[in-house]
């Protein structure tokens, strides 16, 4: 057992991560390790409190640093990710929830005017969208679909842990109809990263996130949007709303497609980085 000041340990961890991560990334990761391994808070770091390091915790620290240097996401290492102020279980079967998707939750909650809306999340993955909407819109009836049994199992575990009332169903949206109807809100964050964009992405995404939930062919990048938009026309109530998270490159194309399917009041919303990220339309 030995002691070290928290700022010194933070600096040491960040330095060890420098071959792979940027300055901001390694400083953030270093704090996560202090928090998760040693129970240190940001206040402890500011006060430069002493940290007692046992041989067991030192071994854990070195093991996790090795995994991070192999580009494994820290969310996979600890088995959880923060999303909309809650902890969600994540693994190799689901996408790690992105910060941009939190903005989608904010948008839907802000725009909702119904006290008991019936909501569907298509391609639920970890269940982060479905569970968050169920908890933020308290009297909602939430359903969620996914093609993957393993993803649905993860989503169900998150639903149970968070006490979010969500009904999960297996469905291949490309080949099957939506198994329910009379929805007030349908939301989907489908695969939208082009195969050709793989080489631009960080290894902790391409090597660890499920490609089934992430990538789409360059030849037909809007396949999921087209199918979901078409099938949602039958599943939405009149004046029901459809929401998509999108690839920033295809905002105008998705907007035009929704117009072509007869949706009204179609809008493109930018994320906090100023990129086209969400599109909504009303079923008329």
Tell me the pLDDT tens digit for each residue of 67-87.
999 988 899 999 999 999 999
Q: Is residue 83 part of a domain?
A: no
pLDDT value for 174: 85
The answer to whether residue 101 scores a pLDDT higher than 60 is: yes
Q: Is residue 129 part of a domain?
A: yes
CATH number, domain of 110, equals 3.40.50.150
HSE of 13, CA atoms in CB hemisphere, 13 A: 29
Number of domains in the chain: 2
33, 118: one domain: no
What does the pLDDT look like over 164-186, one tens digit per residue? 999 999 999 988 999 999 999 99
Q: Is residue 256 part of a domain?
A: yes
The answer to whether residue 242 scores a pLDDT higher than 90 is: yes
pLDDT value for 202: 54
211, 108: one domain: yes
Mean pLDDT along residues 50-72: 93
142, 190: one domain: yes
Task: With both helix axes pointing from N to C terminus, report the angle between 128-136 and 99-111 in degrees, rounded to the nearest 10.
Answer: 40
pLDDT value for 205: 46
Q: Is residue 268 part of a domain?
A: yes
- Contact criterion met (CB below 8 Å) for 136 and 112: no
168, 254: one domain: yes
pLDDT value for 221: 72
Compare 230 and 197 and report the one with higher pLDDT: 230
36, 127: one domain: no
The CA-atom distances, in angstroms, between 100 and each of 22, 167, 214, 243, 274 are 20, 24, 15, 14, 11
What proportion of the chain, given as a percentage, has pLDDT over 90? 77
Q: How far, in Å, CA of 100 to CA of 245, rounded?
A: 9
Mean pLDDT along residues 150-154: 96
Q: Domain end: 21, 38, 70, which one?
A: 70
Q: Is 84 exposed, middle or buried (0-12, 13-18, 19+ CB in 10 A)?
A: buried
pLDDT band at 195 (very low <50, low <70, confident <90, very high): low
pLDDT value for 67: 93
Q: Is residue 39 part of a domain?
A: yes
66, 136: one domain: no
Q: Domain end: 55, 70, 85, which one?
A: 70
pLDDT value for 196: 52
62, 201: one domain: no
pLDDT value for 247: 86
- Phi-psi bin for 118: left (phi > 0), alpha (psi -120 to 50), beta? beta
The answer to whether residue 146 scores a pLDDT higher than 80 is: yes
Tell me what the pLDDT averaged over the chain comes to. Answer: 90
116, 246: one domain: yes
50, 117: one domain: no
pLDDT value for 2: 82
Q: Is residue 84 part of a domain?
A: no
What does the pLDDT look like over 115-129, one tens digit per residue? 999 999 999 999 999
What does the pLDDT look like over 198-241, one tens digit per residue? 455 454 444 444 545 445 556 567 888 999 999 999 999 999 99
Q: Is residue 171 part of a domain?
A: yes
Mean pLDDT along residues 6-16: 95
148, 241: one domain: yes
23, 104: one domain: no
pLDDT value for 219: 59
What does the pLDDT look like over 25-41, one tens digit per residue? 999 999 999 999 999 99
Backbone angles phi, psi at 122, to 5 degrees: -100, 120
Q: How far, in Å, CA of 166 to CA of 164, rounded?
A: 6
Instruction: Give the residue numbers spanning the domain of 200.
Output: 94-283
49, 106: one domain: no
Q: Name the residue among 168, 166, 181, 170 with its Cα closest to residue 231.
A: 181
Q: Is residue 86 part of a domain?
A: no
Q: Domain end: 38, 70, 102, which one?
A: 70
């Amino acid at each position: 057992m030995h002691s070290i000041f928290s700022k010194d340990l933070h600096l040491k961890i960040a330095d060890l991560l420098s071959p792979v991560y940027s300055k901001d990334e390694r400083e953030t990761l270093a704090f996560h390790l202090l928090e998760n391994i040693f129970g240190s808070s940001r206040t402890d770091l500011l006060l430069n409190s002493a940290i007692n390091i046992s041989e067991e915790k030192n071994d854990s620290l070195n093991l996790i640093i090795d995994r991070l240097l192999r580009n494994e996401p820290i969310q996979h290492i600890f088995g959880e990710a923060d999303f909309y102020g809650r902890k969600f279980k994540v693994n190799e079967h689901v996408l790690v929830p992105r910060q941009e998707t939190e903005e989608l939750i904010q948008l839907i909650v802000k725009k909702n005017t119904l006290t008991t809306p019936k909501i569907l999340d298509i391609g639920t993955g970890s269940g982060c969208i479905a569970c968050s909407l169920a908890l933020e819109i308290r009297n909602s009836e939430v359903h969620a679909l996914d093609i993957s049994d393993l993803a649905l199992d993860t989503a169900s575990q998150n639903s149970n842990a968070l006490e979010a009332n969500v009904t999960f169903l297996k469905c291949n949206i490309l080949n099957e109809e939506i198994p329910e109807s009379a929805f007030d809100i349908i939301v989907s964050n489908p695969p939208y990263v082009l195969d050709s964009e793989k080489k631009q992405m960080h290894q902790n995404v391409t090597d660890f996130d499920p490609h089934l939930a992430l990538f789409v062919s360059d030849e037909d990048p809007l396949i999921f949007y087209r199918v979901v938009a078409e099938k949602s026309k039958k599943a939405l109530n009149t004046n029901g709303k459809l929401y998509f998270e999108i690839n920033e490159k295809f905002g105008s194309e998705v907007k035009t497609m929704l117009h072509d399917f007869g949706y009204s009041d179609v809008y493109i919303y930018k994320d906090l980085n100023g990129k086209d990220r969400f599109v909504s339309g009303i079923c008329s």
